[in-house]
Structure formats: structure tokens, C-alpha cells
């Protein structure tokens, strides 16, 4: 039996899965679980590049929600995979991902759905909602990230080194001293080198840096999982690809665009001690959008797996489960 004190709902399996042909040679994996007649919700994973995991279905009451998960282009079970030496990133942009989400909504016969996204998923959720506000019933956002210059420079250009100087040394180790003033660009050259002897160690270093800082205290199992060479390669390449292009957005575009979605009921969940996507961005978004509820979890970092964050996210989805579709 589910108890109110449980952080998430029990594990469930999907009742439907498929591959969506989105063009440009890409196939996007999707799945549906929960109640076929329930309130539709789509889960947008982070990274970009991480893919979905079965436990992410557990944020939603399976009796009340029709739960849609998808792996964005190039990652998870979607193909072609970004870890391939000859992976082509020309047709992997924010605009492509938004179009994929909208195509999936229409193919599943969903008129409107709740959009749930964390980290990069929060940026994609904001962008999707601003592009298709009439398709969104509510937003649940976690670990706000909008790819502004200050956000990227904080985590990848030396700001977070003040808190993790030991881990930072490992992150910069693959990069020659003369290139360390522009770490994202320096990593880009290595991550997209066709030689696995070059791009795999760079990818592992990139992924390990994030895995080691994503939780309030280090999680050895998570670090090991994210450092797997194949997963790390897809993850690092996808992140770096989007970061080099700044999401194909103007500086501050997602926060400036809140007037397009101000009417959508929204909960923002932010870890107070998040060093990957610091609270400054959630605060800036909330100041521009005071109608959105901001929930600050004082004993959490960035990861959605932390207890206080899981409870806050479940509370948000439970509340919206009772709202009209």
C-alpha cells in the first residue's frame, strides 16, 4: 500500500512502447505507463543526453496519470546513438526536440498534457511550453537551467571550482593549460574527435565531474554509472553540443518569455545547495514569474533522487492530478 510518507510511488512497467520516426534518420523511443484513461503527463529528462530511467515513472500516481516518457534524440533507447564514432548532430537541436515532443503528443491522441522536466529538462519544458502554450495544462520544473552564459561559466569555466578544487583538477586534467580559459570549447574539440582514444577519456572526465557534484554528498553508485564509457560519451557529447550553441536561444530568452506561459499553473522545485544549476536561476525565473510557486529544498543539491526533492516533486504532481485536464 502507498503511504503518504513514501517519497515516490511503487515501481511500474509500461503498457505500451514504441519508436517515433521523427525524420532526419532519427527514431525516438517512447513509453506509456499508469492509467490509460488518466491525466496525461510527459517527462522530459535532463542532460541533454541522459535518457530516461524506469524509476522516473514513480513521480506520478499510476491510478491518476497516463505517464509518457521519451528518450530525446541521440540518447537512451533512441537511435542513432550519440556515442557512435560517426554520430551526426546536425539534426539535434532544441527546435528538433520541441517538434519531436509535439509530434508524439499528437500521435498519442493527447489534447493537452502536464509537462515535467528537471535540469536540462526544465529548459526544454519552458521552451516547449512557450512554443505550444495551449498544449500544456501545468508545469513541474526542477533544478532550473536556462543555458545563460553565467550558468555555463559557473559550472564549466571555473566558478564551482571554489567548492570542489580537488574534483576540478580532475576535470581540467585532459585539457592543456593554454586551452583552459575556454573549457567548453576545449572539450568540444576532444569530444567530437573521431578517435575513441581521444573522445572517450574526455567524455568520462566530463561526466565524472557532473556525477561527483550532482548530489549534496557524493553518491559512488551514481558516479560509477555515469562514468560508463558508452553512456558518458553520449551524455558529454550531447551536453557539450547544446552548450556550445547555447541551446540556440538568445541570452536570457527562456526567462524573458514567461509572459507566454504566465497563465500555466507551475511549481518550481529547487535544491538550496545545487551547484550544477545554482538557485540563482530559479530565483531569477521566480522573480520574473511570481505566479509560479517556488519550493526550496534546504537539504538538497541538484539531483532528483534526493529525499526532500523527491517529496516536493511528488507533492506537486499529486496536487495537479486533481486539476482539470
Q: Catalytic one among 61, 71, 100, 274? A: 274
- 163 and 302 Cβ atoms separated by less than 8 Å: no
Question: Is 274 a known active-site residue?
Answer: yes
What does the block give as the cell for 298? 534546504
Angle, in degrees to the nearest 10, between helices 229-244 and 183-191:
130
Q: Which three cell numbers stand for residue 308?
A: 526532500
Cα separation values, 153 from 157, 184, 204, 233, 299, Å: 5, 9, 20, 21, 25
Q: What are the grid coordinates assigned to 164, written together?
A: 570542489
Q: What share of the chain is helix, strand, coil (3-state, %, to 5)?
A: 45, 15, 40
Among the options 33, 119, 122, 227, which is catalytic?
Answer: 119
Do residues 277 and 145 make contact, with C-beta atoms less than 8 angstroms apart?
yes
**In angstroms, what is the C-alpha Rg of the chain?**
19
Supply 246's cell numbers: 547555447
CB 199, CB 190: distance < 8 Å: yes
* Distances in whole angstroms, Cα of residue 257 to Cα of each of 99, 128, 261: 18, 11, 8
**What are phi and psi for residue 83, nearest 5 degrees?**
-80, -15
Task: Establish whether 119 is a catalytic residue.
Answer: yes
Question: What does the CA dihedral 126, 141, 281, 272 come to, rounded to 10 degrees?
Answer: 180
Active site residue 170: no
List active site positions. 119, 274, 302
Amino acid at each position: 500500500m502507498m503511504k503518504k510518507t513514501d517519497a515516490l510511488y511503487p515501481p511500474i512497467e509500461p503498457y505500451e512502447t514504441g519508436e517515433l520516426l521523427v525524420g532526419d534518420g532519427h527514431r525516438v523511443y517512447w513509453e506509456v505507463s499508469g492509467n490509460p484513461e488518466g491525466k496525461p503527463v510527459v517527462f522530459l529528462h535532463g542532460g541533454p543526453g541522459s535518457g530516461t530511467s524506469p524509476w522516473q515513472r514513480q513521480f506520478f500516481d499510476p491510478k491518476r496519470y497516463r505517464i509518457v516518457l521519451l528518450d530525446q534524440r541521440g540518447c537512451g533507447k533512441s537511435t542513432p546513438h550519440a556515442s557512435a564514432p560517426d554520430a551526426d548532430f546536425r539534426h539535434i537541436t532544441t527546435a528538433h526536440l520541441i517538434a519531436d515532443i509535439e509530434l508524439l503528443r499528437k500521435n498519442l491522441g493527447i489534447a493537452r498534457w502536464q509537462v515535467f522536466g528537471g535540469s536540462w529538462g526544465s529548459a526544454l519544458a519552458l521552451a516547449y511550453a512557450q512554443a505550444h502554450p495551449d498544449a500544456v495544462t501545468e508545469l513541474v520544473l526542477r533544478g532550473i537551467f536556462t543555458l545563460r552564459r553565467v550558468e555555463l561559466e559557473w559550472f564549466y569555466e571555473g566558478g564551482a571550482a571554489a567548492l570542489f578544487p580537488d574534483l576540478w583538477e580532475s576535470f581540467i586534467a585532459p585539457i592543456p593549460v593554454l586551452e583552459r580559459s575556454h573549457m567548453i570549447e576545449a572539450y568540444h574539440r576532444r569530444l567530437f574527435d573521431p578517435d575513441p582514444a581521444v573522445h572517450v577519456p574526455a567524455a568520462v572526465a566530463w561526466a565524472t565531474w557532473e556525477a561527483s557534484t550532482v548530489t549534496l554528498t557524493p553518491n559512488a553508485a551514481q558516479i560509477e554509472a555515469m562514468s560508463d564509457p558508452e553512456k558518458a560519451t553520449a551524455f558529454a557529447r550531447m551536453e557539450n553540443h547544446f552548450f556550445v550553441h547555447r541551446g540556440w536561444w538568445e541570452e536570457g530568452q527562456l526567462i524573458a518569455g514567461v509572459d507566454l506561459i504566465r497563465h500555466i499553473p507551475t511549481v518550481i522545485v529547487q535544491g538550496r545547495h545545487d551547484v550544477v544549476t545554482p538557485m540563482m536561476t530559479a530565483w531569477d525565473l521566480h522573480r520574473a514569474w511570481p505566479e509560479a510557486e517556488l519550493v526550496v529544498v534546504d537539504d538538497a543539491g541538484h539531483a532528483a533522487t534526493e529525499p526532500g526533492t523527491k517529496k516536493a516533486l511528488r507533492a506537486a504532481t499529486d496536487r495537479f492530478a486533481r486539476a482539470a485536464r
